Amino acid sequence: NAGVTQTPKFRVLKTGQSMTLLCAQDMNHEYMYWYRQDPGMGLRLIHYSVGEGTTAKGEVPDGYNVSRLKKQNFLLGLESAAPSQTSVYFCASSPGTEYSPLHFGNGTRLTVT
C-alpha cells in the first residue's frame, strides 16, 4: 500500500519554464490537496479538489493550475516558473469524512533559478 506518491522528488527549473507535478493516491480518497512549505511559514494551501473533475483555489493559488481528471491523480502545473515558487510541494489526500486527517506524500523539492 503506497499511500500518496509524488513525482518527481526533486527538480530544478529556469525562470519561465513550465512543469507538472504528479500526485497519485491508492486509498480511494475523495479529497486531494496541494500545499507548499516554506521555512518559517508552515504549509499553505495552493489548490484542492473534493472529487474527480473538481478543483478549487486555496490560500496561494496564483501562478499554479491543477487538474483532477481521475480520482486517484491530482496534477499541479506551473506554466511559467518564478523564483518565488522555489519551495517544497506536498500533496495530501483524505476520505473527506468529517474528522479525517490528511495523508501526505513525501514532497517535491523545486528550485527555480
Partner 1 sequence: AQSVAQPEDQVNVAEGNPLTVKCTYSVSGNPYLFWYVQYPNRGLQFLLKYITGDNLVKGSYGFEAEFNKSQTSFHLKKPSALVSDSALYFCARSRGSSNTGKLIFGQGTTLQVKP
- For binding to partner 1 (CB under 8 A), which residues are involved? 4, 31, 33, 40-45, 48, 50, 58, 90, 92, 94, 96, 98-107
User: Residue 66 CB, nearest distance to partner 1 (Å)?
Assistant: 14
Q: Which is nearer to partner 1, 14 or 40 (CB)?
A: 40
Q: Which is nearer to partner 1, 42 or 69 (CB)?
A: 42
Which ranges of 1-104 does DSSP label H, i.e. alpha helix? none
Cα–Cα distances in Å, from 4 out to 25, 34, 36, 49, 108? 4, 12, 16, 15, 12
Q: Which is nearer to partner 1, 19 or 102 (CB)?
A: 102
Q: Which is nearer to partner 1, 14 or 28 (CB)?
A: 28
User: Residue 4 CB, nearest distance to partner 1 (Å)?
Assistant: 7
User: Residue 2 CB, nearest distance to partner 1 (Å)?
Assistant: 12
Closest CA to 71 of 37, 109, 30: 30
Cα–Cα distances in Å, from 73 out to 17, 68, 82, 83, 111? 23, 6, 25, 26, 23
User: Residue 15 CB, nearest distance to partner 1 (Å)?
Assistant: 26
Q: Number of C-alpha atoms within 13 angstroms, CB side, residue 37?
A: 13
